[in-house]
Amino acid sequence: TQLKINRRSLTAYLLGEHGDSSMIPWSHVTVAGKPIDELLAEKPDVYHMDSKDEILRKVHEEGTWENSMKGCTEFGVSSATAELRAIYHDEHKILPCSVYLDGPYGIKDSFASVPVKIGKDGVEDIIELHLTDEENEEFQKSIKVLKEHFERALKL
Model pTM score: 0.86
Can you state the angle between helices 74-83 and 52-70, rounded to 10 degrees? 110
**Could you confirm whether 18 is annotated as catalytic?**
yes
Out of 18, 92, 130, 149, which one is annotated catalytic?
18
Q: What is the three-class DSSP state of 72?
A: coil
Per residue in 124-138, pLDDT (tens digit) is: 999 999 999 999 999
- Residue 70: the pLDDT is 62
Instruction: Quickly state the pLDDT bin for 84 (edges 50, 70, 90).
Output: confident
